[in-house]
Structure formats: structure tokens, C-alpha cells
């Protein structure tokens, strides 16, 4: 599912208890929800790709994606989801901590968590906002869980789904860290991960996986 308000609403209707999304920041400091650092306006293809960081929030309101939907702000998504699910925010841009903390200050901390491949960023966010849960994204198999998880007091390890085994789950859990598998769309493998003890599955098909896992 793409980063649009209708997609997030559809995921909630399919029983998702969490929404994972990607954020960037505009030139005037608005946090927006989009996978890539640039966008292509489906309504004006002659504009080509434009960097979100070089676009104002006002300009972005006129942009339409291929689906016909607008690029939402993080405020809009958090208002939509409210307390129906946890919103897991992947930070995709550097130097946007101020804008993100400012945005999050208007919303309930208990239903928001942040994570990134750049592990410095979630740590910096929590230094500013102690109540925010943080996660580290990983596309490799850690050799030193103590260095990765303990010192930073990481709440969740977002681990690439094919690099999860019993030992990884046991090591993460020994530090009180949840393991979230990403991105898992195969029902059989999802069942195997649940049997191992993963804490959550990040998927493009929440309805399919929920049905496969028995609700």
C-alpha cells in the first residue's frame, strides 16, 4: 500500500494494528509522508521529479500522485489514525529532527514510534522526546547485539524478514527489544516467523496475513 490517506484507512479496515510510513520534510518545515525523496506529479508529468526538500507545503498541496491522491502531511495521518493503531514513522531524511519533534508534540506519544536505517536519528529524537519509542532498521545480520541494542535502549529491531532466526529473536528479547519483520507478504513464512516468536509483521497485505494467521 502506498503512503496515502485512503491506503492507510484501508489498512485499518483490514485489521492492521500498526501503520508504517516514510517521512520527509519540505523547505518550509512541514513533515510529509512519502516513500521517495522526490515526487512525480501525475497531473503534470512535464514537471518531472521534484525534491520534497525543495518544495513548500503549499506547492505540495497541488500535487497529485498516480492514484489521484495528494501527498499527506504527517499531521493528517496522525489525525486519521488517532488511537486506532500505532503509527511507526520511518525517518528518510537527514536534519529533520526539529520538524518531526514539533509535529509529534501535537499528538499522543503512546501511539507513535520512530525508526530509521540511520540509527543516530531515532536516538536523537528520543533525546528530545523521552516518551517516544525508537527502532533500528536492519538489512544485515547483527554480530554484536549488545553494541546494537543495549547502549541505545532500542525498543524495536526492524529486521529484514529473511534475516530472522531463533537466535536473533532470543538475543533481541534478552535486551527487552521487540523484533518486527519487514516486509513480509508470504503467508507461509509469516506463520513460521510467528512460531519463532517475532513480535510484529510489517506487510503490504494486512488483511491477507491476518486471515492466514487466524485473525
Q: What is the pLDDT of residue 110?
A: 86
pLDDT by residue (tens digit) across 113-162? 999 999 999 999 999 999 999 999 999 999 999 999 998 999 999 999 99
Q: What is the pLDDT of residue 46?
A: 64
Average pLDDT, the chain: 94
If you average pLDDT over residues 165-180, what whole number do you get?
A: 98
C-alpha cell at 47: 514537471
**Co-location of 118 and 12 in the same domain:** yes
Q: Containing domain of residue 110, as a range?
A: 1-132
- CB of 26 closer than 8 Å to CB of 32: yes
Alpha helices by DSSP H, listed for the chain, are 5-13, 57-60, 74-81, 97-104, 120-128, 145, 166-174, 187-196, 206-212
C-alpha cell at 151: 547502549
**Co-location of 106 and 31 in the same domain:** yes
Please, what's the b/e burial string for 90-129 (b: 16 or more CB within 10 A of its CB; e: otherwise)? bbbbeebbebbbebbeebeeebbbbbbeebebbbbbbeeb
Last residue of a domain, one of 89, 117, 132: 132
Q: What is the pLDDT of residue 199?
A: 98
Q: Which residues does residue 25 pair with via DSSP β-bridges, in sequence order?
A: 31
Q: What is the pLDDT of residue 69?
A: 93
Q: What is the pLDDT of residue 208?
A: 92
Flag whether pLDDT at 1 surpasses 60: no
Q: What is the pLDDT of residue 184?
A: 97
If you average pLDDT over residues 85-93, what whole number do you get?
A: 97
Q: Which residues does residue 156 pair with via DSSP β-bridges, in sequence order?
A: 135, 178
**Co-location of 144 and 128 in the same domain:** no
Q: How many domains does the chain have?
A: 2
What's the pTM value of the predicted model, to 2 decimals?
A: 0.95
Q: What is the pLDDT of residue 47?
A: 65
The CATH number linked to 43 is 3.20.20.190
Last residue of a domain, one of 81, 103, 132: 132
Strand order in the sheet with 178-182: 31-33, 18-25, 86-91, 112-116, 133-138, 156-160, 178-182, 200-201
* Residues above pLDDT 70, as percent of the chain: 98
pLDDT by residue (tens digit) across 196-206? 999 999 999 99
pLDDT by residue (tens digit) across 34-69? 999 999 888 777 667 889 999 999 989 989 888 899
**Co-location of 147 and 119 in the same domain:** no
Question: For residues 190 and 83, what is the distance between their CA atoms, to the nearest angstrom?
Answer: 26
Amino acid at each position: 500500500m502506498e503512503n496515502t490517506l485512503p491506503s492507510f484507512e484501508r489498512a485499518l479496515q483490514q485489521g492492521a494494528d500498526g501503520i508504517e510510513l516514510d517521512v520527509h520534510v519540505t523547505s518550509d518545515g512541514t513533515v510529509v509522508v512519502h516513500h521517495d525523496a522526490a515526487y512525480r506529479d501525475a497531473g503534470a508529468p512535464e514537471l518531472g521529479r521534484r525534491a520534497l526538500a525543495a518544495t513548500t507545503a503549499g506547492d505540495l498541496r497541488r500535487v497529485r500522485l498516480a492514484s489521484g491522491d495528494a501527498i499527506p502531511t504527517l499531521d493528517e495521518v496522525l489525525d486519521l489514525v488517532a488511537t486506532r493503531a500505532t503509527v511507526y514513522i520511518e525517518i528518510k531524511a537527514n536534519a529533520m529532527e526539529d520538524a518531526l519533534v514539533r509535529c509529534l508534540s501535537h499528538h499522543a506519544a503512546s501511539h507513535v514510534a520512530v525508526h530509521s536505517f540511520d540509527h543516530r536519528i531515532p536516538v536523537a529524537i528520543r533525546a528530545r522526546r523521552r516518551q517516544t519509542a525508537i527502532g533500528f532498521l536492519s538489512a544485515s545480520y547483527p554480530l554484536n547485539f549488545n553494541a546494537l541494542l543495549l547502549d541505545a535502549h532500542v525498543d524495536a529491531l526492524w529486521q529484514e524478514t529473511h534475516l530472522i532466526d531463533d537466535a536473533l529473536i532470543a538475543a533481541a528479547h534478552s535486551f527487552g527489544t521487540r523484533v518486527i519483520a519487514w516486509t513480509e507478504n508470504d503467508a507461509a513464512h509469516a506463520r513460521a516467523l510467528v512460531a519463532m516468536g517475532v513480535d510484529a509483521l510489517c506487510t503490504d497485505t494486512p488483511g491477507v496475513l491476518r486471515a492466514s494467521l487466524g485473525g
